[in-house]
Amino acid sequence: MSAISVGQAVVLGVVEGVTEFLPVSSTGHLKITEGLMGIPVGDKSVVAFTAVIQVGAIAAVLAYFFKDITRIVTAWGRGLADREERYHHDYKFAWWVIYATIPIVVVGLAAKPLIEGTLASLWVVAGSLIVGSGLMWAADQMGRHKRGEDDSSLKDAMLVGSSQILALLFPGFSRSGATMSTGLILDLERVAATRLSFFLGIPALTGAGLYELKDALGAGVATLPLVVGTAVSFVVAYASIAWLLKFVAKHSFNAFVVYRVVVGVLLFGLLGTGILQA
């Protein structure tokens, strides 16, 4: 029997779509929502389900940035065939995304038992929400916001890509929060840091979702909840991406910092009083 119903899948799809690319931790919010709905957070089928519905959010990125992705992939293909094309920034950027994905893949495979075990605790989520908020606030203050997307380098991509490991090991830290913060520390503009976060998330999250698909089906998650949750996350994530890019163009990340701290403190309270189980 599936641990997740269609109705619960809709709710989780909305939460995933809203929070996947906002720097507030989609994993943390999903775990909190699952706990409030009485869904066993540590169940293998539930862990797999949350990874699979992320594919819907990633599909939203592919759709939203379709022209950019097509341009980059085309430049990469031309560069493979023609040495002269390899000086183009888009060709180099395609390789950077590939290189920057390697660290999180290695750590994800090596630390899978730990990620799905001890580190899946809501206590870890609560602490990571607050600690990650401190990093985000400091990064926004430190960054000089002077470098655009075309000024990015392999070093930027590797550092931003590797920062995804923080969110992998400490759910609640936020993949978007970690990558955007790293981009700001490297003096990228907020929009450039946000777009780089999107592009670097595509292979990592897609790979995780596809890798978990067999486990989700094998662990007892019905196909219909998976399809519904993924579809809902796609629609909501598309709207979330559009909103975020407009927001960061004119605002700092302070609103997200305050929100994360409030949620972290509230979660500590719910756990401490026994309303939620870790």
**For residue 101, what are the contacts with CB-CB under 8 A and spacing of at least 6?**
161, 200, 203, 204, 207
pLDDT at 1: 41
> What count of residues does the chain have?
278
Mean pLDDT over 206-231 rounds to 77
pLDDT at 158: 96
Q: What is the pLDDT of residues 239-264, one digit of tens each?
A: 999 999 999 999 999 999 999 999 99
Taking the CA atoms of the chain, what radius of gyration do you get in angstroms?
Answer: 18
Query: Is the pLDDT confidence value at 148 over 80?
Result: yes
Which pTM was predicted? 0.85
pLDDT at 101: 93
pLDDT at 216: 65
pLDDT at 202: 87
Contact 226, 13 (CB under 8 A): no
Query: Is the pLDDT confidence value at 217 over 70?
Result: no
**Residue 2, CA distances (Å) to 115, 189, 249 in order:** 22, 44, 42
pLDDT > 70 fraction of the chain, expressed in percent and rounded: 95
**For residue 220, what are the contacts with CB-CB under 8 A and spacing of at least 6?**
1, 2, 3, 45
pLDDT at 35: 81
Contact 102, 207 (CB under 8 A): no
Please give the residue that has the higher pLDDT: either 99 or 144: 99
What DSSP string runs through 134-170? HHHHHHHHH----B-GGG--HHHHHHHHHTHHHHHHS
Give the residue among 85, 86, 90, 1 at the shortest CA–CA distance from 39. Answer: 1
Confidence of residue 215 (pLDDT cuts 50, 70, 90): low
Q: How far apart are CA 209 and CA 16, in angstroms?
A: 13
Q: Is 117 helix (H, G, I), strand (E, B) or coil?
A: coil
